[in-house]
Amino acid sequence: MLRVLMGIAGAVVVLGIFSSVLRTLVIPRPTRSSFTRIVQRAVQRPVQLLADQMESAEAKDRALAPVAPLAIVITLISWLASFMVGYALLEAAVSGLSVSDALVESGSSLFTLGFASGTRATLNAIDFCAAATGPIVIGLQVGYLPALYTAYQRRETEVTLLEARAGSPPWGPEILARYAQVELLDSLTDLFRSWERWSAGLSESHTTYPVLINFRSTKPVRNWLIALLAVMDAAALRLAFNPSQPGADVRMALRAGFVCLRDIADSRGIPYDYDPHPDDVLELTYEDFLKGVARMAEQGYPMERTPQEAWPHFRGWRVNYEALTYRLARDIDAVPAPWSGPRRTSVTISTPLTPIDRRPAG
């Protein structure tokens, strides 16, 4: 009876880990693997606790930067170790080997070392399966990394380009202020078109490869989520203050942004309101809204509505993405920025949050 239970347990482990590998590396759609998620959380939590003790955003970013890549390596090791245990239980069930000898047998086969071998036909069959499993899993992981880092590079290119347009960290009003400052408001449409496509790509890559959500930028003042929030806020401000301007591309970029956030929330099991009311209360206060409007006015951004008239329209757009953005920003400890909500702990950042640019004299 004990060997039967060992065989059942071994089969469950092997099949369960195969399912995790397929869901994580092979199936090209958002599929949640409980095993992978548990391993990644186990890697992240102790580092997160350490980061929570740090007082600056830069120090926190340095601490959290290795977490996502390390989680990938630990996941691979965990898969292989689980396969080794699963095959060992199967071998112990079909032979007279002790559990320790079965572990040696399965490890020898899984890692294709070949220093241990049995003589029973049933044992040889399990050895052959184990010998095939090791190279397959490692090969899939090797093939997975280029796709992962290609998606990361595509994401970071647009985030880096936004730095000149939105400051560091980026801020929605800063985008409109800088475009007004250099008299490029007519090209805002190109920005929103680019970020509509970027949001679609992010939705696909970050739900298929959820570990990318925790990959951090090369600089502590950059973050993909804060960049997306800045673009969506700029779009909402544009629609709120300039109703006579063409709004189709602005609306599509804004919608693509919050649909992207909802897709990521679905992949992480985060609840949200599918149909918020335009009059729902925002965490962003009207006073903070006026500070952003003042920044836009400083650089001569044209406004067809007063701030009081524009506020209900802006709020009607922001209710679609504010709560989700704040939740994700807290979860991944994104760089603190204006209009981006609270973090796990209060931190300081040495880089100015809203850099003030001046028009050239003369």
Confidence at residue 361, expressed as pLDDT on a 0 to 100 scale: 35
**Scanning the structure block, which residue is given the tokens 């800045």?**
230
Note the maximum CA span of the chain: 91
Region 224-250: mean pLDDT is 94
Confidence at residue 264, expressed as pLDDT on a 0 to 100 scale: 94
Confidence at residue 350, expressed as pLDDT on a 0 to 100 scale: 45
Region 224-237: mean pLDDT is 96
pLDDT tens per residue across span 31-85: 778 888 899 899 989 998 888 888 788 888 888 889 999 999 999 999 999 999 9
Region 349-355: mean pLDDT is 46
> How high does pLDDT run on average in the chain?
86
Region 221-247: mean pLDDT is 94
Q: Which residue has the higher pLDDT, 3 or 276?
A: 276
pLDDT tens per residue across span 92-110: 888 777 888 888 888 888 8
| Count of all residues that appear for the chain in the document | 362
Give the pLDDT band of residue 351 (cuts 50, 70, 90): very low
The pTM of this model reads 0.85
Confidence at residue 131, expressed as pLDDT on a 0 to 100 scale: 83
Closest by alpha carbon to 195, among 258, 137, 128, 111?
A: 258
Distance CA 296, CA 301 (A): 5
pLDDT tens per residue across span 111-134: 876 665 555 666 777 878 888 888
Render the burial of 148-179: b for 16+ CB within 10 Å, e for the rest: beebbeebbebbeebbebbbbbbbbbbbbbbb
Distance CA 355, CA 42 (A): 38
Q: Which residue has the higher pLDDT, 49 or 360?
A: 49
In this structure, which amino acid lies at residue 287?
E
Distance CA 323, CA 69 (A): 28
211, 40 contact by CB (below 8 A) = yes
Confidence at residue 362, expressed as pLDDT on a 0 to 100 scale: 34
